[in-house]
Amino acid sequence: MPFSIATWNINSVRLRMPLVERFLAEHQPDVLCLQETKCPDDLFPSAAFRKAGYEHVAISGQKGYHGVATVARRPIEIVEKREFCKMGDCRHISVHVEAGGRRILVHNFYVPAGGDEPDPAINPKFRHKLDFVAEMHEVRALQDDGYSSILVGDLNIAPLEEDVWSHKQLLNVVSHTPVETEGLEGMRRGGNWVDLMRQHTPPPEKIYTWWSYRARDWELSDRGRRLDHIWSSPNLSGNLAGLEVLRAARGWDRPSDHVPVIASFDLD
DNA sequence: ATGGTTGCCAAGCAA
């Protein structure tokens, strides 16, 4: 039985609802996890999702900033909206979904970007990012007979050398500094998570999911980073059937600076 | 080394 899940930092769900509708029509993932919805819950475009076949919606939004949403074609059950660092930010939501006789716990994360200065002593936003990742260590890949976990989202960290256009030039740039990449990799391994994108496409092949708005020509310069991730518990990683980074979506009209990533599974 | 763009919402701030 096939099952697919997508993650996409949409950078305003209301502004880009036409792009979301196009993506859902063309790819029809069972579950879509959005970040940076920038939308209070009472203004979330649930009707448009319903019309697109995504009747089940779990949202944690706030006005203007952040916000995550998990939408699905099959029933989902909210497990938790976890507050990290006691900041009041909407950066996490977890749901349960049934697929192929399994119960899957799906975490949807939006990790703080961290500002420009990679020094926690002088940049509170970077301090917040490091604290957030440290607190994420508590989120482990729970698994059992008939029970699995998936973690997706914009983690705002490109952990491997091959996750950025230039490892050397980005070593001191927020998103690729050693304190961040070691923090995230430590959290992933410690939590027993499998990086499905790198299981599917190991180094040295480059993978990017984000290209800055500031480039004159994002496609030509191709100075991307892998900031968006899909992880699973070990008992689901063997079922991975496909993984796609929808690079073309960066070229759509008025795009997000992130593109969707889709993982598909073959469940028995 | 610097500045480059976008979205929030109507001035900067965050990314």
pTM assigned to the model: 0.98
| Greatest extent of chain A over all pairs of C-alpha atoms, in Å | 51
Nucleotide lying nearest to A112, CA to C1' measure: B15
As a whole number of angstroms, the distance between CA A106 and CA A83 comes to 16
pLDDT of A138-149, one tens digit each? 999 999 999 999
As a whole number of angstroms, the distance between CA A141 and CA A236 comes to 10
For strand B, which nucleotides have at least one atom less than 7 Å from a protein CB?
A: 3-9, 14-15
CATH of the domain at A41: 3.60.10.10
As a whole number of angstroms, the distance between CA A169 and CA A215 comes to 16
User: How many domains is chain A built from?
Assistant: 1
Interacting residues of A125 by C-beta distance below 8 A, sequence separation 6+: A112, A113, A114, A115
3-class SS shares of chain A: helix, strand, coil, % to 5: 25, 30, 45
The pLDDT of residue A268 is 80
Distance, Å, A4 CA → B12 C1':
40
pLDDT tier at A98, thresholds 50, 70, 90: very high
pLDDT of A159-218, one tens digit each? 999 999 999 999 999 999 999 999 999 999 999 999 999 999 999 999 999 999 999 999
Q: If you average pLDDT over residues A218-246, what whole number do you get?
A: 98
The pLDDT of residue A21 is 98
- Look at strands A2-9 and A31-35 and give their pairing: parallel
pLDDT of A25-51, one tens digit each? 999 999 999 999 999 999 999 999 999
Q: Does the CB of A11 sit below 7 A from strand B?
A: yes
Nucleotide lying nearest to A110, CA to C1' measure: B15
User: Residue A219 is part of which domain span?
Assistant: 2-266
Average pLDDT score, chain A: 98
As a whole number of angstroms, the distance between CA A77 and CA A29 comes to 17
